[in-house]
Amino acid sequence: MKSLPKLLDRIVIFLILFALAGFAAICLLRDNSSFTDKQALPLQENWINTTSGDTVSLPASLSLTKNVPLTLQFTLPENSPHPYTELYFSPYYYDLEVYLDDQPLLKEKFEPVYFSRTNGARKVFVSLPDDWEGKQLTIVITPQVQISSVKLTAPTLCFQTDALTEIYLLNLPSLVATNIIFLLGICLVVLYRVLRKNNHNDSGLLALALFSLLCSIYLSTQLGWNKLLFANTTLLYIAEFVAHLLLPLPLLLLLKNALTDRSRRVIDGCLCATALHATIQSLLFLFAGIEFREMLPAAHLQLLILVIITVPILAFGRFRQSGQRRQVCISLVPIIVCSSIDTIIHYFTNVALPAFFLQIGFFTFVVLQAFFLIRLYLKAWEVEQRSKAYETLAYTDLLTGLKNRNAYESDAEHLDVMLKRNLRYNISCIAVDADNLKRTNDQEGHAAGDLLLQTIAEVLKKAFPKNLGIYRIGGDEFTILLTYRSKTELRLVLEEVVKSLAAHRFQSLAIFSFSYGISDSTEFRTLSALTAQADAEMYNMKKHHRQEAGLIE
């Protein structure tokens, strides 16, 4: 049975990896060419550049000169099997005019405020008239910035609903992963606040929650669907790169929280350097006009340096708990490997997979870390529950369910401090004794005596529901502590208690004798003095009861 937790861990990790493999397969198999002819028809071949007379095939990489129009013409197909209703464009940094023969369909001005210099793509749908077949389509592109190389995509004949659905489906795996990470981040924030209320301030949990939220922001900016939802794509651009720059911060905090040795100081230095780097890049973008994308090599270099610094720490640093090194390494490997793959793709290939592998790495890290943390807190909760159970056994009288003498001694220290610090704070003390417990045990047996004690306890709890503590000090002696009430009021309540107990019969014996004493902190400022006075009054009453019963002269 000892190997069962390890087996469950392996099963959970296997299921996570299996889900990630499915996610990767779906993303790789679904690309922008998955439009069917029925849904859309890209207009790729036989475009004529009216300036040079050349025939162009789209998509094509072109060099565009600022304010110099480029005119392309295309003859739309006749007898199309599908009555397409829209044209779908992806304009960049240029004014776009669209004509069908001489009929203008679109005149869209480029708005610089909506775009950075390196992030200007947007999505446009243009409605077609019913008689579009066989007509000449003309698009006029007037660049508003100097572009040395722009990938001019082919317009697409489509049904807008089908195109939107297809774009949504293309983004669906990433959208699901992003939403899962976001929801995990929210759940971890809630869990952190709950633990903080219970005086468990775990910065590691907060770091993972912040990383999940930053990660979901960063991944959501990678979704092409967002460019249909947001007209101002510069906001997405800024969110993407700022989140990218800040992502190492919660990772470093998470690592620092797991460590116990001097390497924490090295992590502090890395935290400061990362925050400074993010601040400098943001200021350069806002005030110097340098694009985040142009500073991307610096961000990648910084990440490489962080990896080089943290690898020895992971290998030789001291961690708070056994097995935590293995958990951190298992979680970080997917991020390091996947981000390296994405970096290689970015610098050495022309494949358009924006942050695809990084999505997998982030998703794996967050899910694994959440799994490890939840398991850790479940174990801590079990330990805490056991501790509470042992504490209950140590401070509870098992027969009556009242507090025992250990609890009285523990509470006495706290109450003595309260009485000394606050002269206006007063409490009352009642000492209670059942006069005939020994006779009940002798005549009726110990079971009857136990029942007598349990009945006394129940009656006292009902008579004094608002109390500081009801204690069974030992045998048939009870002590009640409560916020200050006058002796006259307490005597009236205790007389009702005596009547209530006298109404109970245990087989053939009735409770007829019950002794008590009362004191309060208006006369005595220590709990020991209060208890001593109450005991003295109680023993005087007990002596009187014995004299009345003829037990003593």
pLDDT digits (tens, 9 = 90+) for 333-380: 888 888 888 778 767 765 555 566 777 777 778 777 777 777 777 777
- What's the whole-number mean pLDDT along residues 471-497? 84
Taking 80 as the threshold, does the pLDDT of residue 301 lie above it? yes
Residue 448 has pLDDT above 80, yes or no: no
What tokens were used for 509?
Answer: 């014996």
> Which single residue is written with the structure tokens 């981040």?
185
The structure tokens listed for 512 are 């007829």
Burial of 214 (0-12, 13-18, 19+ CB in 10 A): buried
Do 40-158 and 405-549 share a fold?
A: no
pLDDT of residue 115: 63
Cβ(141)–Cβ(69) under 8 Å?
Answer: yes
Average pLDDT on 506-531 reads: 73
What's the CA gap between 237 and 115, in Å, rounded?
A: 9
pLDDT of 460 higher than 80: yes
Closest Cα partner for 234 from 320, 332, 120?
Answer: 120
Q: How many residues does the chain have?
A: 553
Give the model's pLDDT for residue 41. 84
Strands 136-143 and 156-158: unpaired
Q: What is the largest CA-CA distance in the chain?
A: 134
Comparing CA positions, the residue from 207, 216, 214, 175 lying closest to residue 189 is: 207
- Which two three-digit tokens encode residue 541? 């009453």
Task: With cut-offs at 50, 70 and 90, classify the pLDDT of residue 136.
Answer: very high
Q: Which CATH class is domain 40-158?
A: mainly beta
Mean pLDDT for the stretch of residues 507-517: 63
Phi, psi of 470 (to 5 degrees): -115, 120
**pLDDT at residue 99 greater than cutoff 90:** yes
pLDDT of residue 108: 81
pLDDT at 512: 56
pLDDT of residue 105: 92
d(CA 117, CA 293): 9
Higher pLDDT, 86 or 37: 86
Between CA 147 and CA 233 the distance in angstroms is 19
Q: Which residues contact 88 (CB under 8 A, 6 or more apart)?
A: 40, 123, 124, 125, 126, 155, 156, 157, 158, 160, 163
- On the question of pLDDT at 417 being above 50, the answer is yes
Q: Which long-range contacts (CB under 8 A, 24 or more apart) does 346-350 make?
A: 346/296
DSSP annotation of 465 reads: S
- pLDDT at residue 25 is higher than 70: no
pLDDT at 409 over 80: yes
CA distance 452 to 400: 10
| Helix H or strand E segment including 481 | strand 477-483
What does the pLDDT average to over 161-168?
Answer: 78
The model carries a pTM of 0.61
Q: At 263, list the tokens.
A: 């390497």
Average pLDDT rounded to a whole number, residues 110-124:
67
Q: What backbone torsions phi and psi does residue 86 show, to the nearest 5 degrees?
A: -135, 155
pLDDT digits (tens, 9 = 90+) for 171-202: 777 777 788 888 888 888 888 888 777 666 67
Predicted pLDDT of residue 3: 47
Pairs from 271-275 (Cβ < 8 Å, separation ≥ 24): 273/302, 274/245, 274/246, 274/248, 274/249, 274/302, 274/306, 275/249
How distant, in Å, are the alpha carbons of 293, 316, 460, 478, 519 from that of 481? 71, 56, 12, 10, 10
User: In the chain, count of helices (H) and strands (E)?
Assistant: 15, 18
Q: What is the mean pLDDT of the chain?
A: 79
Rounded average pLDDT over 157-183: 80
User: Which of 55-59, 197-201, 451-455, 465-469 is predicted most confidently?
Assistant: 55-59
Please give the pLDDT value at position 509: 52
Task: Quickly state the pLDDT bin for 280 (edges 50, 70, 90).
Answer: very high
Residue 473, pLDDT score: 85
Q: What is the pLDDT of residue 507?
A: 46
In the chain the first and final C-alpha atoms are separated, in Å, by 69
Per-residue pLDDT tens for 47-85? 998 888 889 888 887 788 888 899 999 999 888 778 888
Percent pLDDT > 90 in the chain is 12
Mean pLDDT of 6-20: 58
Hey, where are the domains in the chain? 40-158, 185-385, 405-549
Q: Say yes or no to pLDDT of 8 above 60.
A: no
Identify the CATH class of 405-549: alpha beta
Average pLDDT of span 83-106? 87
Look up residue 434 and give its amino acid.
Answer: A
